[in-house]
Amino acid sequence: MQTHEIVRRFTAHFENAGHTPVPSASLILDDPQLLFVNAGMVQFKPYFLGDVPAPYPRATSIQKCVRTPDIDEVGKTTRHATFFQMAGNFSFGDYFKRGAIELAWSLCTNSVSDGGYGFDPDRLWPTVYETDDEAFALWQEITGLPPERIQRRDGTDNYWDMGVPGPGGPCSEIFYDLGPRYGVEGGPIANEDRYLEIWNLVFMQDERGELSPKKGHPPIGELPHKNIDTGMGVERVAFLLQGVDNVYETDLVRPVIAAAEELSGKRYGDGEEDDVRFRVIADHARSSVMIIGDGVTPGNEGRGYVLRRLLRRIVRSARLLGVTGPCLERFATVVRDAMSPTYPELATDFERISAVIRAEEDTFLATLTAGEKIFETAVQDTRRGGGSTLPGDKAFQLHDTYGFPIDLTLEMAEEAGLSVDRERFTTLMNEQRSRAKADAAERKVGFVDASIYRAVLDTHGATDFLGYQSLQSEARIVGLLRDGATAPAASEGDSVEVLLDRTPFYAEAGGQQADTGTITGGSFVVRVDDVQSPVAGLRVHRGVVANGTVTLDAEVVAAVDPARRAAISRAHTATHLVHAGVRGALGSAAAQAGSLNAPGRLRFDFTSPTGAVPPAALTEIEEEVNSVLQSDREVQTYETTMDEARKLGAMMLFGEKYGDRVRVVDMGDYSRELCGGTHVRRSGELGLVRILSEASIGSGVRRVEALVGLDAFQHATTEHLLVNQLADQLKARPEELPDRVQSLVERLRTAERDLEKHRADAVLASAGSLAEAAEDLDGTKLVAVTAPDGVTGNDLRTLASDVRGKLGSVPGVVALFAVDGAAGKVAFVVATTAAARDDGLAAGKLIPEFAEAVGGRGGGKPDLAQGGGTDPSGVDAAIRKLREAIRG
């Protein structure tokens, strides 16, 4: 049975049982605890936690998942994988244990002709939590299995919670017996190599406290509504129903291995070492395509780092198989063809996906050869020194300079029979991150226990947002927090968080900055500086009590600053127009990767695997956007279904989670996007859009910054004044300025070259006098002086070589020092004649004799060496040490 048919049967089975089919969520959800979605229940967490009411009593989904802790084990076994699909059915206070067991058992054991999977019941083994007598009895009743075929296991195996206080419960797992050749009999408790878990049924009935029942601690209570959360491994069921030995041989994975076989000329199954590489390619190719499809681009932090690591492991595995040229796009194409029947967006968005992959592969291939040479040199140095540990400094250099993930260096070191000094590497990485954090803007975070917000939500319901229609409304304070805790009142000067039953204030979201304004009661005013939504459905107004005493339950008037809202709305609408302009100029590969909509200005990030946007293209985008402003198009906003929005061609942002009903911002045939932000009514209200800059902010990601409205006009006026001033000073018309400035620059460069030549001639003219002043040290001529002012770099080397030449055939050493007192630095060069080298005086070996005196170091060849230091006051001492070394 093909995998897509397994998925179809699962969905049909539960849809026929009254479940609402829910599309897979993006792998990227706004969950600080998760790098990627790793289970089917993740998108339903708000319903299980009670943050928001579930829109349906029961649901089913096929969720794409990525788990990354075991990346290093992928390929080494056939059990580990980073990407997989989890089929699940969910009940939100509807059916419970009986329903979950009946539905799972019937799908597993019903015949293929009846829509089931046709598993032999004699090969299925259920497990239950050790004290769950109810589930044990239900398994017996529903399946007719004897008691010895239903095994009890402790909380480590058969209890589920989220690792934090909240919902949890016992679970039942369904195992399939692979047969005697996989190990001893006796059920899952005897051998999990022979008995393969295919489905986990979680009976969510408990509320756990700080200590988990998984570790034997009792729950602190029961949930008011009992829920069901199940997960069936699609790939595991596929390899069982397809009669193959593991997931790598199933219909959606084996084609990637076949492509690698074709490119490499090798065959899967001929040797375990190569088989590991084939499996790495197959698994990582699937994960990478799915991750890029959901909007991630390669980078050096977080999700971007994981993606980069996956892609580079593919490239290196392919090289070890003998593939020398680019290969990622070929593997991605195979993944697209295999997976797009379930995930059609992979086909429609493949131009962007492949562009991201090509850019990363080109970058890595360009540095891989150089990095491998550095690595091999480090390995040789380590072995020559009799060591078995690669220095952490070298590992950090490979990471920082050549883009080698530490995991790649560890793999290469292991292959070379070496370990890596991880401690030193980690120290250097932490130092780098600390520097980066010091430069980064402070992120807005809340320090309030989220349960406080959820309590308000449970009691008073979601905040009614009125901001699309009005900037002022009457409201009631339903929650008041001071210093992170609930409070009945707050006085003048207190920092507070105010929760209202309704509000016109827009909470920061989707790149749009929050509204500011006031909340006014009968005898108090709260200045609102920020609005956030820490729990779905709530809007929290953060600010300061400007005067009076604010109290819980007070009736108030909430008023948004209209000028700020209007300026932000203009910027947000302009962002949509710039997005449309960029896609029109660069193609669909230019997808939004972030934005900022602030009063009068915007920042728009987008993927651009081809590199910088040409200035001419930016000019065209700006002109096109302003033509839309001039046409004064109506900006319509309306709600519709997700299916209808897709039919209309509305743009959807990667990583965003949309419900069944979505809000569309429509500017006719030019721009149509899903968006929850605020916008102007007509494009003409924007006035003017001026693009200020375009630059790279990471691998394959570019950023456009622009001004809108009055800010754009003011910028244009300033530029006009500057152009007029330049025209007056250069006695030229504005259109002549580029040529006139270019002429001035060329004249300046010519003058600098002439000056440099004269200076070099003056420096070289001093060589003769320096040679003549050489002192005699027991038959060796020594010239050791501070060079004339202005001599640095190449001039210092040239002068040392010239002085050496004028010493003739006698043993001679030239040591010249250049001092930069203002910077507190000193540079030095040592040159030796052939006769001196015959006497054992090598330039590279002389430097260590005196470098410490100037706080420096250096090195080089026997005839010429150089270095630098940080203590110019030590030059005289250095010269004395050099004399001593020569005499010695």
pLDDT digits (tens, 9 = 90+) for 157-176: 999 987 777 788 999 999 99
Number of Cβ within a 10 Å radius of residue 314: 29
More confident residue, 209 or 202: 202
Q: Rounded to the nearest 10 degrees, how much is the dihedral formed by the CA atoms of 787, 791, 792, 797?
A: -70
pLDDT band, very low/low/confident/very high, at 212 (cuts 50, 70, 90): confident
pLDDT tens by residue, 549-558: 999 999 999 9
Model confidence pLDDT, tens digit, residues 621-632: 999 999 999 999
Say if residue 227 is in the same domain as residue 273. no
184 and 310 in one domain? Answer: no
- 412 lies in the same domain as 543: no
Same domain, 598 and 710: yes
How many whole angstroms separate alpha carbon 784 and alpha carbon 453?
Answer: 75
Would you say residue 724 lies in a domain? no
Report the CATH number at residue 852.
Answer: 3.10.310.40
- Let me know: does 817 contact 787? Beta carbons within 8 Å: yes
- Tens digits of per-residue pLDDT, 45-75? 888 877 778 899 999 999 999 988 778 778 8
What are the tens digits of pLDDT across the range 658-674?
667 889 999 988 999 99
CB of 238 closer than 8 Å to CB of 176: no
Residue 402 confidence (pLDDT): 67
For residues 171 and 126, state if they share a domain. Answer: yes
Question: How high is the pLDDT of residue 491?
Answer: 93
Comparing 385-389, 506-510, 877-881, the range with the smallest average pLDDT is: 385-389
The 10s digit of each residue's pLDDT in 97-125 is 999 999 999 999 999 999 999 999 999 99
Verify that 700 and 752 share a domain, yes or no.
no
User: Which amino acid belongs to residue 139?
Assistant: W
Q: What is the pLDDT of residue 363?
A: 79
Higher pLDDT among residues 653 and 688, named by residue: 688
> Looking at residues 194-207, what average pLDDT do you find?
94
**318: part of which helix (H) or strand (E)?**
helix 302-320
Structural domain total, the chain: 6
**Is 550 in the same domain as 573?**
no
pLDDT tens for 419-456 read: 999 889 888 888 876 665 554 333 333 445 667 888 88
Share of the chain above pLDDT 70, in %: 94
pLDDT band at 885 (very low <50, low <70, confident <90, very high): very high
Fill in the amino acid letter for 144.
Answer: G
pLDDT in tens, 252-262: 999 999 999 99
> In sequence order, what DSSP letters do the residues of 11-61 get, joined into one string?
HHHHHHTTPEE-PPPPS--S-TT-SS--STTGGGHHHHHTSS--SSSEEEE
| CATH number of the domain enclosing 513 | 2.40.30.130
The pLDDT value given to residue 128: 96
- Say whether both 298 and 174 belong to one domain: no
Q: How far is CA 199 from CA 88, 174, 252, in A?
A: 9, 5, 20
Asked whether residue 747 carries a pLDDT value surpassing 60, the answer given is: yes
Which percentage of the chain shows pLDDT scores above 90? 55
Is the per-residue pLDDT at 320 higher than 60? yes
Residue 445 lies in a domain: no
- pLDDT band at residue 198 under the 50/70/90 scheme: very high
Q: 199-213, 274-288, 641-655, 694-708: which range is least confident on average?
A: 641-655
**At 90, phi and psi to the nearest 5?**
-135, 140
Final residue of a structural domain among 415, 439, 463: 439
Tokens in use for 89? 């059915």
497 with 429, same domain? no
Domain boundary among 560, 586, 613: 560
Q: How far is CA 845 from CA 384, 833, 861, in A?
A: 20, 14, 9
- 575/585 same-domain check: yes
Q: Which residue has tokens 């956030």?
A: 532
The b-or-e profile of 126-157 (16+ CB within 10 A means b, else e) is bbbbbebebbbebbeebbebeeebbbbbebeb
The per-residue pLDDT for range 380-426, each reduced to its tens digit, is 888 888 888 988 888 888 877 666 767 778 878 887 888 999 889 88
**pLDDT score, position 760:** 63
Contact 480, 456 (CB under 8 A): no
Residue at 706 is within a domain: yes
Average pLDDT over residues 580-592: 86
On average, the pLDDT of the chain sits at 89
> What domain range includes position 877?
767-887
Question: Residue 240 is part of a domain; what is its CATH number?
Answer: 3.30.930.10
Taking the CB of residue 37, how many other CB atoms lie within 10 A of it? 23
Binding residue positions: 572, 576, 675, 679
Q: Which two tokens stand for residue 520?
A: 């006014």
Residue 613 and residue 479 share a domain: no
Is it the case that residue 571 has pLDDT exceeding 70? Answer: yes
In a domain, residue 528? The reply is yes
Q: What is the spatial distance between Cα 540 and Cα 266, in angstroms, rounded to a whole number?
A: 60
Cβ proximity of 416 and 379 under 8 Å: yes
Treating both helix axes as pointing N-terminal to C-terminal, what angle do 302-320 and 328-339 enclose, rounded to 10 degrees? Answer: 110
Contact 127, 157 (CB under 8 A): yes
> Is residue 444 one of the residues assigned to a domain?
no
Least confident of 242-246, 276-280, 382-386: 382-386
Residue 836: both structure tokens together: 């001196």
Binding residues for Zn(2+): 572, 576, 675, 679
Whole-number pLDDT of residue 94: 94
Q: What pLDDT does 436 receive?
A: 53
Note the helical H segments in 670-818: 710-730, 737-765, 767-772, 793-806
pLDDT of residue 410: 83
Give the C-alpha distances (Å, rounded to integers) separating 406 from 248, 317, 390, 435: 26, 16, 12, 20
Tell me the pTM.
0.63
Asked if residue 282 is part of any domain, the answer here is yes
| Per-residue pLDDT tens digits for 766-808 | 788 888 889 999 889 999 998 876 666 667 888 899 899 999 8
Position 447 scores a pLDDT of: 46
* Structure-block tokens of residue 492: 């003048």
Is there a single domain that holds both residue 575 and residue 696? yes
Domain boundary, last residue among 521, 544, 560: 560
Is 470 a member of any domain? yes
In a domain, 880, yes or no: yes
For residue 789, give both structure tokens. 């002012």
